[in-house]
Amino acid sequence: MSGLELLGSGREADVYRLDGRQKFTAIVVPSTLPYLIAGMKIGFGLALKVSVVAEIFGVTTGIGYIMNYSREILATQMVFVWALVMVLVMMVTDTLVFGTLSRRLSAWR
């Protein structure tokens, strides 16, 4: 909602005599893209964390299970290794996916 609130009254579009579709594609979408991409970053991070927690409690495979099993057998180094793997996955995804997406979609800035 923050991106839409910053748009104001839309009188700029009236000056250029834009119709509804043109207002949407030329003003609304570019103004809200940074907020949409930020929301996707937050959502992806939260989804990854929730899936690891679910793996700890519910299944016998996955990073969460391996981390929990390593904790049970006192293999602390494996817990840290898998935590580091999760951090690296998040960093690579943030840089390659969301960074590229942000640069390409916000090239007009």
CA angle 95, 51, 78 (to 5 degrees): 80
DSSP category for residue 106: T
Q: Check residue 108 and give its pLDDT.
A: 66
Tokens of 1: 């909602």
Give the total number of structural domains in the chain: 1
What pTM, to 2 d.p., does this model score? 0.72
Residue 65 has pLDDT above 70, yes or no: yes
Q: What's the pLDDT tens digit per position in 32-46? A: 888 889 999 999 999
Measured CA to CA, the distance from residue 74 to residue 4 in angstroms comes to 51
Q: What's the pLDDT tens digit per position in 54-64? A: 988 888 888 89
Q: Check residue 19 and give its pLDDT.
A: 85
Question: Which contacts of 62-66 are long-range, i.e. CB under 8 A and separated by 24 or more positions?
Answer: none
Q: What percentage of the chain has pLDDT greater than the value 70? A: 85
Question: Are 34 and 106 contacting, i.e. CB atoms less than 8 angstroms apart?
Answer: yes
Greatest Cα-to-Cα distance within the chain, rounded to the nearest angstrom: 69
Measured CA to CA, the distance from residue 59 to residue 67 in angstroms comes to 12
Structural domain including 10 reads: 2-105
